[in-house]
Structure 1
Amino acid sequence: MNAWKMPVAWMSMVALLVGGCNKDEQNVAPTDDNEAITTATLTLVNKAVPTDTVRATIENLNTTADFSKATLNLKANTTYTGTIGLLDKTKTPVVDATEEIREKVNEHLFVYTYSATSGSQNALIVTITDKDTNPAPGPYPVGLSTDMQTGAAGTGTLNVVLRHQPNVKDGTPNPGSSDLDTSFPVVIQ
């Protein structure tokens, strides 16, 4: 065999082998790093009167948000047990993003920040009550469940941010990126 034909034959065989390896591969759709969230619902249950439930929902977070059902009408000087529910309505069937977050609690942190427009800045204090399973120095807070304590009457907004923190969660909001950043109007009376 000629010297120049040997490299051509060798390269052809390598191309066939490499091409053969790709034959069994599947095209895998890329995964979203962040959760897709279109709907956020806060449900607060009065600890003293469990039949007193407050629910506020923000729809269409991925387009023009609908705040028509978003106001948290709370009683002054009351403690509520809170939960947050998140949905992705862009998919059929609708995806319960809350379950996805529950499965990946070690990568997520909710940050709740109340800002008063009237009354005291301390009129709503949010305490996260659930923890992840990160090893020491964890576990760290998650925020799917909370206690919310109201003070004197006033108004404001409750900003809710969901931080996506794979491999960097340290109990603070700084690392990672945001899956959700929205605000619920609050009326305390």
Structure 2
Amino acid sequence: MKDLMHDYLRKAREAMVWKLDGLSEYDVRRPLTPTGTNLLGLIKHLASVEAWYFGNTFDRPFPDPMSWWDDDADPNADSWATADETREDIVGLYRRVWVHADATIEALPLDAPGVVPWWRKPETTLHAILVHMIAETNRHAGHADILREQLDGAVGMSPSNSNLPEQDAAWWAAYRARVEAAAGVWS
């Protein structure tokens, strides 16, 4: 069970990083929603939460400092790349977090106890944290899917799996028009 869950987390992580491939520095950073959601910020956020949940929760703190955890950090500081943070810095951090988290996952049994102070029921287990991080990572992978499609039309779970019907641009345009027409009935 733990191996299966760990595999789901690994695949979601890789999908997140793949969403940056082939994009300019500007496109991976620029806010694409009114709340500032951006691809590199999603990676930075996931690095932050995964480091905390697989580190501090089990008294195995991630060794790299993260200034956005400081009490005086700006709200949402973990959700965007500053001008002096490179793509390589943030993706590298995320990959180092993976190594740290993977070590925790491999070292502890699923029923290993942990504590998340801000949760309604702070006492938790590795099993619950794995489920939480699979859900969290996949939630943000969905955000990344939409952002990437807006940027250049690229879609899918990986370079070899679009997870969509294989149709040409004309089919997709006609499909979108049908969806719009159905929605228009309610306008």
TM-score, normalised with respect to structure 1: 0.20
Structure number with greater Rg is: 1
User: Greater strand percent: which structure?
Assistant: 1
- TM-score scaled by length of structure 2: 0.20
Q: Which structure carries more helix by proportion?
A: 2
